[in-house]
Every structure is written in structure tokens, then in C-alpha cells.
Amino acid sequence: MAENFKATGNMVSVQNVHKFFSNLHVLKGVSFEVPVGSVCTILGPSGSGKSTILRCINQLETIQAGRIFVDNKLMGYSDRDGKLYELNHKQIAQQRAKIGMVFQRFNLFPHMTALENVMEAPIHVLKEDKAEAKAKAIELLGQVGLADRINYYPSELSGGQQQRVAIARALAMKPDLMLFDEPTSALDPELVGEVLNVMKDLAQQGMTMIVVTHEIGFAREVSDQVILMDEGVIVEAGTPTELFENPTHPRTKDFLSKVL
Ligand SMILES: Nc1ncnc2c1ncn2[C@@H]1O[C@H](COP(=O)(O)OP(=O)(O)OP(=O)(O)O)[C@@H](O)[C@H]1O
Ligand SMILES: [Mg+2]
């Protein structure tokens, strides 16, 4: 049966996505929707495919079947009369520019100050003028609580501060969607809260977010939708209340019993 893929009006629509790394079938028909302005958290054991699905949404990986739409645009292809044509690098870069991603490791440019890190992409990718980019970067660094650290180098900042710079840097591109892959996993426990608070603020401001995390408190409090992945499939998805209070699948119950 031919599959009927189409945009759904949601910010993200993942439709029956399959991903292989050579013979290894890592995503086995993953589908979910993320409405505009909502927060989706993805939980699941190590190796279940959480990072891979984020990387596919952001086109850091290609997919072998299915479709991904972001803001109602088909990722990676143009669809002309039902025929798919691969986008070129420039077109893919344009699609990716609307998606911010924050990783476990902060990936800041070590030779640039916090301010320079945040200004870099707006100047070089968006071609903003320097004064405008600088003013915006200062504002964003203020928003993440680093107004007094703008001229510090990454090596002079704590992990939590570096991660907040990374968030400000992603926001400087004015993304429609933010992807977070275990943004607090590499942090000392006392620094986790400051990063989660910045993410909560962002959610409250209406940013659409997909967050892979082991922070169950955050998932429970902030998400509109929680997804549990295991072995490349979505085992169960629902509101935090549904998933945490009334899990139906044995694998969800098993996972929760280990993390709660
Ligand atoms: N580049 C790659 N080449 C080959 N296999 C890969 C690659 N990236 C991931 N995998 C495999 O794909 C599967 C899913 O990996 P993924 O990183 O998505 O898991 P995860 O759910 O994010 O795990 P974790 O919680 O440990 O971060 C794993 O079996 C992993 O070994
Ligand atoms: Mg991962």
C-alpha cells in the first residue's frame, strides 16, 4: 500500500521514519507530531534511538524511509508532483538554519568569548550587521543569566554557564524549533538546575522544543507530550500524567521503575 505522507500543520511531523546504519536497523517506523509551541520530551534506555531521531530531524543523518516535516516543509527533499528530488547543500542548510540544537557537550568555539560565540552565526550565516548581532547577543546572554559573563572565554565558564551560552547561540539564529540532546547530562549535579530553568523559560515563551533527557522532573513539569522509546520504536506516548501515572505498556513500567 502506498503511504500517504503529507504536512499536518504541526511544527514537527515525523512519519514512519526508518533509519539504518549499514545493517543495523536503528529507527523502525517512528511517527509522532509536535504541535507549534509545545514541548515534547523523549525518554528511553541507552541505544534506543533518541539521539538518532533528533539528528534525523536536524538532517545530521539521512533516513531510508518515511518523511519528516518541520514547519510543514519536507526535510531534505522537494516534492514535485509526487516525485522526490534531493535538496542541494544550500537548500538543506537553509532548512537547518531554522532548527536550533543543543548537545550534551557544549561545542562552543574555545577561542571566542561568550559574546563572540553568540554573534558568530548571525553575522556569517544570516549576514546581520555586526552592531545588530552584538546587541541581540547581549540581550540573549542576559536572558540566559549571563549578562556579567559576556566577555569570558568558554574555559573561564562553568559547564552550566557554557551550556547556557550554547542555548543563547542557538537562539541567535531565531529558530522555529529547538532540539536538546541530554543538555544536562554532562553537568555536575549542582549546575543542572540553572540550565533546566533557562529551558523552562524558553518553553513558557512558546518555543517549540524536543528534549531528550533523563530529568524526569523536567519531563513531568514542562512537557506537553512524553515519548518513551525502546529499541528503535515508540513504546508509548502521552501526556506526563498518562505516561508517569498510568503507564500501560510493560516496557514503560519497567523503564519508569528504574528511573523514578
Ligand atoms: N554513526 C553511527 N554508526 C553506527 N551505529 C550508530 C551510529 N550512531 C548511533 N548508532 C547506533 O544506533 C543505535 C541508537 O543510537 P542513539 O545514539 O540514537 O541512542 P540513544 O537512545 O541516544 O542512546 P543514549 O541514551 O546512550 O544517548 C545504537 O545502537 C547505536 O550504537
Ligand atoms: Mg543519545
Closest to 237 in 3D by CA, of 40, 51, 70: 40
Say whether pLDDT at 242 is over 60.
yes
The C-alpha atoms of residue 256 and residue 64 are separated, in whole angstroms, by: 31
Q: Which residues, 6+ apart, have CB-to-CB distance to 209 below 8 Å?
A: 38, 39, 40, 177, 178, 179, 180, 199, 202, 203
Instruction: Report the mean per-residue pLDDT for the chain.
Output: 95
Say whether pLDDT at 247 is over 80.
yes
pLDDT of 5-20, one tens digit each? Answer: 999 999 999 999 999 9
Out of 18, 22, 24, give the residue to mutate to test ligand 1, the one with the largest number of ligand atoms within 8 Å of its CB. 24
For ligand 1, is residue 214 a contact (CB within 6 Å)?
A: no
CA of 241 to the centre of ligand 2 (A): 24
For ligand 1, is residue 60 a contact (CB within 6 Å)?
A: no
- Phi, psi values for residue 100, rounded to 5°: -95, 140
Percent of the chain surpassing pLDDT 90: 93
Instruction: Enumerate the H helices of the chain as residue ranges.
Output: 50-57, 89-97, 114-124, 130-143, 159-171, 189-204, 216-222, 240, 250-259
For ligand 1, is residue 26 a contact (CB within 6 Å)?
A: yes
CA 197 to centroid of chain Cα atoms: 16
Q: What local confidence, expressed as pLDDT, does residue 185 receive?
A: 94
Q: Is the dihedral of CA 214, 61, 161, 188 positive or negative?
A: positive
pLDDT tier at 259, thresholds 50, 70, 90: confident
Say whether pLDDT at 2 is over 70.
no
pLDDT of 174-222, one tens digit each? Answer: 999 999 999 999 999 999 999 999 999 999 999 999 999 999 999 999 9
For ligand 1, is residue 48 a contact (CB within 6 Å)?
A: yes
pLDDT of 63-119, one tens digit each? Answer: 999 999 999 999 999 988 878 899 999 999 999 999 999 999 878 999 999 999 999
Q: What local confidence, expressed as pLDDT, does residue 84 receive?
A: 86
DSSP-based three-state secondary structure for 219: helix
Q: What local confidence, expressed as pLDDT, does residue 79 receive?
A: 84
Overall average pLDDT of the 225-252 stretch? 96
Length reported for the chain: 260
pLDDT tier at 1, thresholds 50, 70, 90: low
CA of 193 to the centre of ligand 2 (A): 20
Nearest CA to ligand 1 atom 7: 21
Say whether pLDDT at 260 is over 90.
no
